[in-house]
Amino acid sequence: MATVTVPTSRTRTAPRLLKNRAAGKLLLLGLVTAVLLPLLHGGPWPDDLTVSLDKPLATASDWVIDNRDSHPVFLYFLGHVSNAVIWAVRAVYLALLTAGWAGVTVLGALTAWRFGGARLAAGTAAAFLACGALGMWVPTMQTLALMVVAVLASVAVGALLGLGAGLSDRLDRALRPVLDTMQVLPAFAYLLPVVLVFGIGVPAAVLATVVYAAPPMARLTALGLRGADPEVLEAVESLGATRRQRLLTARIPLARKELLLGLNQTIMMALSMAVIAAVIGAGGLGDRVYQALASVDVGAALAAGIPIVLLAVVLDRVTAAAGDGTTRPRTIGWPYAVAVTVAVALAARLLGALDWPAGWTLGIAEPVNRAVDWMTAHLYSGVPVIGGTADWAGHFTTWILDPVRDGLLWLPWWSVLLLVAALAWLIGTWRTALTAVLAMAAIGVLGVWEPSLDTLSQVLAAVAVTLVLGFATGVAAARSDRVDRALRPVLDVFQTMPQFVYLIPVVALFGVGRAPAVAAAVVYALPAVVRITAQGLRQVDQAALESARSLGATGRQQLWQVQLPLARRALLLAVNQGVVLVLAVVIIGGLVGGGALGYDVAFGLAQGDLATGLVAGAAIVCLGLMLDRVTQPTDRRPRKGA
Amino acid sequence: MTLTVPTRKPPTTTEPVFSVSGLWKVFGPKPERVPADPELSALSPAELRSRTGCTAAVRDVSFDVRKGEVFVVMGLSGSGKSTLVRCLTRLIEPTAGTISIDGEDVRAMDRARLRELRRHRAAMVFQHFGLLPHRTVLDNVAYGLEIQGVGKSERRERAAEFVAKVGLEGMEKRRPGQLSGGQRQRVGLARALAVDPEVLLFDEPFSALDPLIRRDMQDEVTRLHREEGRTMVFITHDLSEALKLGDRIALMRDGKVVQLGTPEEIVGSPADDYVREFVRDVPREQVMTVGAAMRPAFAEETATGPAVRPEATVAEAIEAVARAGTPARVMDQGKCLGVVDHEHLLGVVAGVDTTAPAAAPQAAAADGTAAAADGRATGAARAGAGDARCSKSPGEAPGTPRRATPPGPRTTPEAV
């Protein structure tokens, strides 16, 4: 009986203990502050606590530029990497051009047919033709060529790392925190270090893409190898398999689903990054969007943005279909597919129709710009009763963004650290709290306290809006199958689109500034929050829900007393994901007038002032770390109702 | 009239295939100190855990598995039986003790030799089947041969043979996901059989199956054993399965073997209260053989009445006696060993001793190796003795007229 009574007494005292512990943590933090208070003074981060990195960074960047053609590290290693990347991208690009638009479309359609059936094939062909019709065939092929090389490299690197982590516990322990952290960092933070080494251009773009896209492959490979059914592995071992046989005949085939999911995620992240890398010379579709946004030419941005979305949807659906695992009737073998492609490409070449025919291009930039002009004239402001979109943006800026930013800057710097510590400690452990405080302090030390708090204010505002909308929609989707069904295709498309694309519609609607950046962030983060919330609520123990219903609980009571408390972990995860995704887009918002850290990075790149950009990039990393750790729940907390 | 129901298996020889002695498996920090230290090894599981943080899954277990027999290890969940069977081929590395297969020390084997053992000499069937979901039925069955390096056409040919043997013809091209639980376990069985192992190890193979399918599979195993006479070690938590399949049963509790013996010995003379509680609801007439109810024949009885074989169960004898209305003769190769009548058969069913306790030595029932191979009658005698204890009758003095039957030849001079 002793073993029975111990856990019950523990569960009974758990809530009180928890409260006490929370109060204790706050008390301890308060004590520390009270002791240190006389030594501290208010206001923003004091100058004497900053370390200026401008000089050393400028020196380092100058040194790299001076020695890029002479130093052995560049000559014998990085130079080769750079050349190999250029060579590979060019080879793929030329191959795509040689196949011609007809050949590429046919190959794409046949591949889609092979994996997903006729409907997917038709969709793929339509998507490729649409890219051509929008006059974006060449930039699409440029982006595709860069993608192919980056994805192949990411998959190779990721699979190797994942294989190591899947087979060795030590490597897994070492790699996991690194990969976890890389996953939460905004794409923008990766740009500057590679530019420092490789300079602006295709090699830097490809390598930034590989660094950004390889982690999911590594994570999922390791996960798949580790998650194999232990009884199957035991059965394989009981038959006397060697380690090698076990890996090749059991572990890798059993991880097929995870491997293909990793491939899918890597492709999606690579596309997202390949577009953003336009800022560092990737060319292609991203560059067109970037140039168009810089001159607020929404029509041109849209003409380049639509192919990006189409490419994203097609790549996602085809790889997802490949990873589906269900066996389909064989449609077409690879040899036939290749043969048909070659035949079509040759036919196109003989007919002299390799390039997209000029007469088939649909100029959408003009009409779109006219529509945007009309919107500017009629919807931006002065619409009776509801006001205009620009009015909303202005009100949002003056009534929410400005007060939050000013409030954060008004707070004494040490109280910001204290807030971060208290939040992180209450939600997580002292470890996460320590990381968060150190990251925040590092921002101050780097001397970018004010722009970072500006970014933080945008993130906070966007997260608040995202969570209110996301939780409400998520609850609705969890409670009604009809809402869920209606939302699903929308969420599917929104989740596959690269971050960059979201800037186009918000610029059309709200102009430039901080409010549009926040709006883009909200739209980008919303699907993930809705999905996690709805899933978490739906996965609540049905027996608990049924028992509540049998006791006569109303729908509202079920939601507040059963579903939401039991889905607590999912809700915290939704907050964490929301924060990470919002940050990524708020940073990119620097390109459309969001200012703050994102602007510093873009400015540094544009002016060749790498020192400013690198410091801002480091601050982004710190901010990302801090935000992730503050919202990271841990497993160590006693679970309620256990 | 001889009943034709073949209830018990062909006789087994005494030659051991697996010989296990003093086997320990301790999980936890520094496990090797537990078997080495007599003080620690004497602790109860709870005390051991609080003192050392270790859990002893297998505690000082010794037994022999004889060639051609079905050796059942039975116990409730957590009794260490699954760990024990994994120790036999070192899927789990034992902490202490010796294991030998055909006299060869398993614990001393290097990796290559151990692989050899797993590939050719002992194959295992798992509770949740352990099939490779990405392979067809045929390729799953051929997998063991593939591991051994058998060529594709040959292994497929051999695999097809075993797929047919377990009754899955026509399903070679399906994948495990398309099969029912019973069919999947047939694949698991065929995979184990395909490598032609000396010993088949079953780890609760039918626990995940529905009762009717389970009975089919048990019959399948019985059939395979009858046809091939392969040695089997069978782990189960189901007492009726153990009694149905086992030639001998080792009953485990908290990592120890509490009793080892034939089904009849386990049911007829439980070694302690735990075993007694365990077997309380067993229909005794299905397990006990007629020997338990046998008395010496009177002269006039040796020539008339229905005949039953010595290995027939009490239930079968009841049927014979009820049909004929007279006592039945127990006949072995034309000799009458004794007779069973209404009174004695009912005594066995009721668990009340109607035969006198035998003068036969009350050897420790747990000492399974002492059970003689020809000893159904001896076993019955001991079972009778057990019954005496069971019904708390002090036992009649030796020498009363109704003695337990001594071995046949002395009382049955006549042929039928």
**What are phi and psi for residue B202, nearest 5 degrees?**
-115, 125
Query: Would you put residue A512 in left (φ > 0), alpha (ψ -120 to 50) or beta?
Result: beta
Q: What is the pLDDT of residue B1?
A: 40
Residue B318 has pLDDT above 80, yes or no: yes
Mutation target to probe the B interface, by most B beta carbons within 10 A, among A236, A237, A239, A260 is A239
- Do A235 and B130 lie within an 8 Å CB cutoff? yes
Question: Closest-CA residue in chain B for A325?
Answer: B134
d(CA A137, CA A360): 11
Within 10 angstroms of residue B311's Cβ, the number of other Cβ atoms is 17
- Do B143 and A254 lie within an 8 Å CB cutoff? no
Q: Which of B119, B133, B191 sits opposite A240 (nearest CB)?
A: B119
Distance from CA of B165 to the nearest CA of A (A): 20
Task: Kindly list the residues from chain A whose CB atom is less than 8 angstroms away from the CB atom of residue B191.
Answer: 239
Task: Kindly list the residues from chain B whose CB atom is less than 8 angstroms away from the CB atom of residue A242.
Answer: 115
Helix (H) or strand (E) holding B57: strand B55-66
Which range among A184-193, B225-234, B339-348 shows the weakest confidence by mean pLDDT? Answer: A184-193
d(CA B42, CA B45): 9
Which range among A148-152, A429-433, B123-127 shows the weakest confidence by mean pLDDT? Answer: A429-433
Non-local CB neighbours of A409 within 8 Å, separated by 6+ positions:
A44, A450, A453
Residue A637 has pLDDT above 60, yes or no: no
Q: Which two tokens stand for residue B381?
A: 């005698």
- Do A250 and B132 lie within an 8 Å CB cutoff? yes
Chain A stretch 226-265, residues whose beta carbon is closer than 8 A to a beta carbon of chain B: 229, 231-232, 234-242, 245, 249-250, 253-254, 256
Q: Which pTM value belongs to this model?
A: 0.75
Q: What is the pLDDT of residues A389-401, one digit of tens each?
A: 777 777 777 777 7
Residue B154 has pLDDT above 70, yes or no: yes
Residue B406 has pLDDT above 80, yes or no: no
Across residues A264-273, what is the average pLDDT?
A: 85
Query: What's the CA dihedral at B375, B376, B379, B381 to 10 degrees?
Result: -110
Which range among A501-515, B112-126, B183-197, B225-239 shows the weakest confidence by mean pLDDT? Answer: A501-515
Task: Kindly list the residues from chain A whose CB atom is less than 8 angstroms away from the CB atom of residue B201.
Answer: 238
Chain A stretch 307-336, residues whose beta carbon is closer than 8 A to a beta carbon of chain B: 327
Residue B248 has pLDDT above 70, yes or no: yes
Q: What is the pLDDT of residue B377?
A: 40
- Do A240 and B191 lie within an 8 Å CB cutoff? no
Q: What is the pLDDT of residues B286-298, one digit of tens each?
A: 888 888 788 888 8
Q: What is the pLDDT of residue B73?
A: 92
Tell me the domain boundaries of chain A: 148-297, 386-635
Strand order in the sheet with B307-308: B307-308, B328-332, B335-340
Distance from CA of B162 to the nearest CA of A (A): 16
Q: What is the pLDDT of residues B349-404, one digit of tens each?
A: 877 765 544 433 333 333 433 333 343 444 343 433 333 333 333 333 333 333 33
Place of tokens 């943005």: A305
3-state secondary structure A422-471: HHHHHHCCHHHHHHHHHHHHHHHHCCCHHHHHHHHHHHHHHHHHHHHHHH
d(CA B128, CA A234): 11
Is A591 an 8 Å CB contact of chain B?
Answer: no
Q: Which of A232, A240, A254 sits opposite B115 (nearest CB)?
A: A240
CATH number 1.10.3720.10 given to A386-635: yes
d(CA B45, CA B41): 9
Task: Kindly list the residues from chain A whose CB atom is less than 8 angstroms away from the CB atom of residue B88.
Answer: none
Closest CA to A307 of A376, A364, A235: A364
Q: What is the pLDDT of residue B234?
A: 92
A148-297 against A386-635: fold identical:
yes
Average pLDDT, chain A: 78
- Do A240 and B147 lie within an 8 Å CB cutoff? yes
Alpha carbon B194 to its chain centroid, in Å, reads 23
More confident residue, B405 or B160: B160
d(CA A196, CA A612): 12
Q: Place domain A148-297 in its CATH homologous superfamily.
A: MetI-like (1.10.3720.10)
Distance from CA of A231 to the nearest CA of B (A): 5
- Do A231 and B195 lie within an 8 Å CB cutoff? no
Distance from CA of B312 to the nearest CA of A (A): 38
Closest CA to B127 of B214, B212, B67, B68: B214
Beta bridge partners of B105: B100
Non-local CB neighbours of B384 within 8 Å, separated by 6+ positions:
B268, B292, B353, B355, B356, B357, B358, B404
- Do A231 and B129 lie within an 8 Å CB cutoff? yes
**How many contacts, defined by CB atoms under 8 Å, are there between A and B?**
69
Q: Which two tokens stand for residue A526?
A: 């919303």
Q: Which of B91, B129, B195 sits opposite A237 (nearest CB)?
A: B91
d(CA A387, CA A383): 5
Residue A63: CA count within 13 A, CB half-sphere: 8
Closest CA to A266 of A141, A149, A155, A142: A155
Distance from CA of B146 to the nearest CA of A (A): 9
Residue A73 has pLDDT above 80, yes or no: no
Residue A90 has pLDDT above 50, yes or no: yes
- Do A249 and B124 lie within an 8 Å CB cutoff? no
CB A136 within 8 A of CB A283: no
Question: Closest-CA residue in chain B for A251?
Answer: B132
Q: What is the pLDDT of residue B33?
A: 84
Q: Which of A238, A245, A249 sits opposite B124 (nearest CB)?
A: A238
Distance from CA of A629 to the nearest CA of B (A): 34
Residue B283 has pLDDT above 50, yes or no: yes
Mutation target to probe the A interface, by most A beta carbons within 10 A, among B128, B135, B198 is B128
Residue B211 has pLDDT above 70, yes or no: yes
Distance from CA of A11 to the nearest CA of B (A): 22
Distance from CA of B195 to the nearest CA of A (A): 9
Q: What is the pLDDT of residues A357-390, one digit of tens each?
A: 766 677 776 777 777 777 777 666 666 666 667 7
Q: What is the pLDDT of residue B233?
A: 92
Mutation target to probe the B interface, by most B beta carbons within 10 A, among A1, A4, A229, A238 is A238
The ipTM, to two decimals, is 0.71
Q: What is the pLDDT of residue B71?
A: 92
Mutation target to probe the A interface, by most A beta carbons within 10 A, among B116, B117, B147 is B147
- Do B147 and A250 lie within an 8 Å CB cutoff? no
Task: Kindly list the residues from chain B whose CB atom is less than 8 angstroms away from the CB atom of residue A235.
Answer: 124, 126, 129-131, 188
Interface residues on B facing A, Cβ-Cβ cutoff 8 A: 86, 89, 91, 114-120, 123-124, 126-135, 143-144, 146-148, 175, 188, 191, 195, 201
- Do B127 and A254 lie within an 8 Å CB cutoff? no
Q: What is the pLDDT of residue A484?
A: 82
CB B136 within 8 A of CB B175: yes
**What are phi and psi for residue B57, nearest 5 degrees?**
-80, -35
- Do A235 and B124 lie within an 8 Å CB cutoff? yes
Across residues A279-292, what is the average pLDDT?
A: 80
d(CA A558, CA A564): 8
